[in-house]
Structure 1
C-alpha cells in the first residue's frame, strides 16, 4: 500500500488502485495520525455528492484521552448488558443471501485470526476489539443534522461521504474500518466527543496506519460481479454481450 504520505514519494495512487486496493483495516500501528493528515483526508471526502447539495454531515474527530474514555465506557456498558442505543434504525437480523454474505466474511476473518468456532475466549476478544474501535488512534464520528431525521436521504448522503472518506484515507496510506460497534452506546460517544443534541450520531470510522502484520488486515471480502446485480435496459444486444441486432427499448 503506497501513497505520497506513507512512502514519501510524490506519486499518488490511481483511482482504480484506491478502489480496488482498499480493504477494511482492523489492526493499527501504535503511531499517531497528524491532525493535518486527517484534515487533508476530510477535505477530499467533503467533495462527496449529496441530495440537492444539502451536505447534512458533520464530523467529530476523536483521539487521545477522549477516545480512550469512549472505548472504556462503551465496553463497560456493553459487557454490563446495557441495551444498545444507536440512533439509526436497525435492520434486524439478516436473512437469506444477506445472512450468507455476513457469515462468509466472518469465516474469512476468523480463519485469518485463528479463531475456532468453539473458542469462546477468542470470539469474545474479537467482539471487544470492535467495542474498542479496534484500538485505532483516531475515530471519526459521522453525524447529520437532526432537522432531517426521519427521512432516508440524510443517511444515504452520509453513506456517500463515508465512502469518500475511507477511499481518501487509503490514498494517503491510512486504513479505516466503518464500525457500528463503536457507537452502540451513543450517549457515551455524545458525551466524550461533545456532540450536541441537534446532531444524529450515524456511524464511526476507525482510522490509523495499518499494521501489515495483523492477519485480518489481509482479508479481502468478496464482491458481487456486474452480472449478478446490474440490469441493462435499452442497450443493443451486441453491447450487452448477448447477441446482435436488437434493441430492447
Structure 2
C-alpha cells in the first residue's frame, strides 16, 4: 500500500477471523513500527505478543474478575472522565457502533456483551501488550513515545491486511495479564492492541469515524494566505 492509502483506509477492527497470524508477519510489523521516533532514541517500549491458550486465560481472568466486581487495576495512570466536546465525540462513536451492530438503547444484554468483548480482547487471535521500562515511570516523554510506536504498529499491520484496535479494557486486570503473559517486574503495562485478520462480515468493522477539520485543529502562524 501507499502511505496515504494506509492512513486514510485504516479503521479500528473489533471483529476478527479465527485464522492464526503467522509469527513472522507480526515480527515484520513490530520491526517496522520500531522505526517510530522516541525522545533522544530512548525507545522505552517493549511488547508481549500473546496468542493461543495464554491469551484465552487472560480473557477468562479479565472477564471473571470484572463480572465479580473486582476493581480495575490498570498500571498506567488514568485521568478524569471525558466531558464537553470530548465526551460528545465518545458518545457519537458509541452510537455509530451500536447502530451498526443493531443494538438498541434498551437492549441491556447486548450492550453488556459488547462491553465484555473489550475484556476479551475483541476475540482477536493475537494481543500485543505494550509496556515501558519501569525506571522511566513518570517521564513525560515515555507515554508520548509509546503512543507513537503503538500508532505505527496499527498502521504497519493495516499495510499487511491485518486489523487492530487499541484498547485498555484488555489490561484492566493487570495481575491476570502479568501472570499469563509473563510480564517482567521491571515493566509497566500501558496499553493493549487486539490484532488479527478482519472479519468483513462483522458490521462494526465498517464504521468510519469522523475527524476534526484542519481549521478546527490547527493554528497557522506567520504564513501568507
Matched, 1:76 2:59: no
Matched, 1:107 2:95: yes
State the SS of the aligned residue for 1:78: helix
Residue 48 of structure 1 is aligned with which of 36, 40, 62? 36
Q: Over aligned residues, Cα RMSD in angstroms? A: 0.6
Instruction: Give the equivalent residue in structure 1 for 2:193.
Output: 205
Q: Distance in 1 between matches of 2:140 and 2:100?
A: 36
Matched, 1:127 2:118: no
Residue 161 of structure 1 is aligned with which of 145, 149, 157? 149
Q: Distance in 2 between matches of 1:147 and 1:139?
A: 24
Matches within 5 A, 1:20-35: 20-35=8-23
Q: Distance in 1 between matches of 2:75 and 2:213?
A: 32
Shift of 1:44: 0.5
Shift of 1:93: 1.1
State the SS of the aligned residue for 1:224: coil
Instruction: Give the equivalent residue in structure 1 for 2:84.
Output: 96
State the SS of the aligned residue for 1:59: strand
Q: Distance in 2 between matches of 1:117 and 1:93?
A: 21
Matched, 1:192 2:175: no
Q: Which has the higher contact order (CA 8 A, sep 6+)?
A: 2
Structure label with greater radius of gyration: 1
Instruction: Give the equivalent residue in structure 2 for 1:62.
Output: 50
The runs of 5 or more residues in structure 1 that have no matched partner are: 1-12, 239-249
Residue 171 of structure 1 is aligned with which of 134, 159, 162? 159
Shift of 1:179: 1.2
Q: Distance in 2 between matches of 1:200 and 1:156?
A: 15
Q: What TM-score do you get using the length of structure 1 for normalisation?
A: 0.90
Q: Distance in 2 between matches of 1:189 and 1:161?
A: 21
State the SS of the aligned residue for 2:20: coil
Q: Which moved more, 1:136-145 or 1:90-99?
A: 90-99
Q: What TM-score do you get using the length of structure 2 for normalisation?
A: 0.99
Matches within 5 A, 1:134-145: 134-145=122-133
How many pairs align? 225
Q: Distance in 1 between matches of 2:170 and 2:134?
A: 20
The runs of 5 or more residues in structure 2 that have no matched partner are: none
Q: Distance in 1 between matches of 2:139 and 2:24?
A: 34
Shift of 1:150: 1.1
